[in-house]
Amino acid sequence: MRRAAEVLESLRRHRATWRLVIGSATAGLVLAAVAVALTGPWDSGRRAAERAQAAEAGPGAPDSGGVTVPGAVTVLDPLDGSAPEYAPDAVRRLLEPALSDAALGDGTTAAVVDLATGETLYADHAGTGRAPASTVKIITAVTALNALGPDHRLATTAVWDEDGERVVLVGGGDPTLSADDLTALAERTAAALADRGADRVRVAYDTSLYPGGGERHPIGVNDNIAAITPLQVNEGRLDGSTHGPAPRADDPAADAADAFTEALAAAGVRVSGDPADRKAPDDAERLAVARSAPLSSLVERMLTDSDNDLAEALARHTALATGERADSEGLGRAMAAQLDDLGLAHDGVRVVDGSGLDRDGRLTAELLTQALATAADPGRPELRSALTGLPVAGFTGTLAGRYDGDGGDGGSGLVRAKTGTLTGVNTLAGTAGTPDGRVLAFAFLAADTTDADAAEAALDRAAGALAACGCA
């Protein structure tokens, strides 16, 4: 009896884990049934993008280790895709109680689209622009993936200025560059210098990838984002954290150059003087390079953690890929051009940053749902990580503390959505898998909220209602 009680207690404590397994499996089967390319984040026990990254890495690469997580066991048979289509009136009746909550104010807009049919099931001022907060990261994701491709990597490079007997650390716009990455780059650089017989060097760093070396986000100095520069280590964080608000370096590029210089010296290179901020010569020879994870993995990280620094970097790389300047104006033009290329109408939209921290940005619920539908198109697998990176309700990222499953939300493990929060602004956009086999894309933008916690709860109830919908 005691052993039985212990087992029951263990099951109770791990109830959330079982809910995730069942919810994720159900969502995955729903997606297969409707032939929508919404591959979940777990593929044989690994994130799909990480699996691709490991396969792409060559022998000896740091991410080429063996898989240690066992494959998931199939627990349900695939659905046959015969679930009845939903009635818009039923969806409207379902959503209105939550979306009419007084905490959302008077400025709420919303849209719901059936991903299998493309039919709009609900629209309330869906073409009216509202401040998107971090839901703009969905647009950052699909435009970056469209412009660059899911296998693109960001490169930080060490080059040799022979005339100046100088190593130049060239920033490649990778905010995920870690201290370990930088040390490894310095060690490879030291080996390349030894091959050339260079026993004493000077060091410089090049931030010319972005105009003026970078810029401050319009919100200014803030724990939510570092100075925007193409050269930084761990997003300029000073507390060792990897996501969320944190104190940031005043000059991340200079700090990165100092760390690189110290690592060079530790690797046996004699360095003269302090690092100088200067552009590398056009004919400089490459000594070594540090590459980021593939863009598909970066997009997943950006969406799951709501990574503002990474969002701004990806938006600027979208600008560079399309011949625009890597600044706030250039990224707006580039992202608009990519939306055109994807066939996504963006009337009423104003893209001013990649992160959503700028309150002057405007998105529509219609654009967000159409972007999600496009990412779910089986003919566009390159966009898939814009879906697989969305936080899972009750379990991952910015939704980990929501939908705990003990209340009436009904979306735990089945809602996957990007959150957005600014003062007076609460937004939520993503997908919901329903019990009878449909997958719905939704976007809720509330721009006049009076109580952030109550507004967040109202949006969660709306998305949870969709996940429990039997709206035929």
Residues taking part in catalysis: 134, 137, 306
**DSSP class of residue 159?**
E
CA distances from 184 to 63, 157, 292 (A): 14, 12, 13
Q: Are 98 and 425 in contact (CB under 8 A)?
A: no
The Cα–Cα gap between 365 and 35 comes to: 24
The Cα–Cα gap between 422 and 26 comes to: 33
The CA radius of gyration of the chain, in Å to the nearest whole number, is 24
Q: Are 86 and 80 in contact (CB under 8 A)?
A: no
The Cα–Cα gap between 60 and 403 comes to: 41
Q: DSSP labels for 411-422?
A: -TTTEEEEEEEE
The Cα–Cα gap between 125 and 136 comes to: 18
Residue among 290, 288, 291, 292 at smallest CA distance from 159: 288
For residue 322, which amino acid is it? T
Helix H, strand E, coil C: the string for 340-409 is HHCCCCCCCCECCCCCCCCCCCEECHHHHHHHHHHHCCCCCHHHCHHHHCCCECCCCHHHCCCCCCCCCC
Tokens of 221: 């100095």
The Cα–Cα gap between 172 and 49 comes to: 21
Task: Characterize 24-50 residue by residue with b for buried, 16 or more Cβ atoms within 10 angstroms of its Cβ, and e for exposed.
Answer: bbbbbbbbbbbebbbbbbbbeebbbbb
**DSSP class of residue 72?**
P
The label of the residue with tokens 């879906």 reads 387
The Cα–Cα gap between 93 and 103 comes to: 19
Q: Are 164 and 206 in contact (CB under 8 A)?
A: no
What contacts 18, CB < 8 A, 6 or more positions away?
A: 11
For residue 394, which amino acid is it? G
